[in-house]
Amino acid sequence: MSINHGAVALFTDLPQVLLKYRVAVGVLAILICAGTWAIDLMELVYNCPFCRAQRTVIGLLGFLLLMPNLRFWLVRYLSVVFGIFGLVVGATQHFRGWARMNAGEFEWGDQWYINPWLLSGCAIFIITALLLLIWTERKGD
């Protein structure tokens, strides 16, 4: 069995690669925030306070990722405050889904791709990834 060493190296070095393109990652996070807020404000989805908090945190972390010095104490402090808030909200919403599964009340619904349990799980992954990028030491720093 052959191993693609380029893919292994990319996966191993993924945080540094993403930091190399951190402006694009930060802009993508802001676009995710703005796009989901637009969908919410157009009333195309249920106006969920959990979702609103999570999407706002994703946007704020994206904005912080655009800062020139990620090691500055205020950037790190705000990223932790926003990140912990977003993760607690996301985990609370996600756990409610697990509780509904345990009670036998969980349903995917017709539009499974906007299921709160699924989206809160995605938000948890995105918020954690943005926090890790902000806190990762860059080569050369």
Q: What's 137's DSSP letter?
A: P
Confidence of residue 54 (pLDDT cuts 50, 70, 90): very high
Greater pLDDT, 137 or 68:
68
* Cβ pair 63, 82 in contact under 8 A: no
Q: What is the pLDDT of residue 107?
A: 85
What's the pLDDT score for residue 2? 56
Nearest CA to 83 out of 53, 61, 67 is that of 61
Per-residue pLDDT at 90? 96
User: Comparing 106 with 42, which gets the higher pLDDT?
Assistant: 42
Q: What share of the chain is helix, strand, coil (3-state, %, to 5)?
A: 75, 0, 25
Q: Give the domain ranges of the chain.
A: 13-135
Report pLDDT for 141. Answer: 54
The SS3 call for residue 39 is helix
Question: Considering Cα of 133, then 135, then 137, then 141, what sign does the dihedral take?
Answer: positive
Q: Which pLDDT tens digit goes with each residue over 73-128?
A: 999 999 999 999 999 999 999 999 898 888 888 888 777 777 888 999 999 999 99
Task: Write down the pTM of the prediction.
Answer: 0.87
Given a cut of 90, whether residue 19 has pLDDT beyond it is no
